[in-house]
Amino acid sequence: MAYPATPPAIICEAPRAVDGDTIRCANLLRSVRLAGIDAPELPGHCRRGRACTPGDGQAAKRALARLMQLGPVRLQVTGRDRYWRTLAIVSAGRVNLNCELLRHGQAVRRYSRIRCS
């Protein structure tokens, strides 16, 4: 039985943390949302009536920025969200950033399933 080919990883050039679960890449037109996680919102970004993830949004953004320094940032695209952002499993060096943010309490699992070892 043949399995579908895994799409190649995309290298994110000049990565920048937008918040705790979204990055920008100089070589991509749209922002990239880390799949399967939700980080706390930055101050003033949680709209009235919305259930936002509790915690420090600035700390989550700093944690993501630090993790991206571990090596080249690669994206394994999993789809698009309702805002047409690219959804991806993001790694820096050999570290899965989606899972690492969960491990350090900077995000919670939400929206889709991801596998963390």
Q: Quick check: is 41 catalytic?
A: yes
Q: Which residues contact 105 (CB under 8 A, 6 or more apart)?
A: 55
**C-beta of residue 84 within 8 angstroms of C-beta of residue 68:** no
> 94 an active-site residue?
no
- Give the number of other Cβ atoms within 10 Å of residue 26's Cβ: 9
Catalytic pick among 16, 41, 66, 100: 41
What type of residue sits at position 1? Answer: M
Of the candidates 24, 85, 100, 109, the residue annotated as catalytic is: 85
Number of C-beta neighbours around residue 83 at 10 A: 8
The residue annotated as part of the active site, out of 33, 62, 100, 103, is: 33
Residues taking part in catalysis: 33, 41, 85
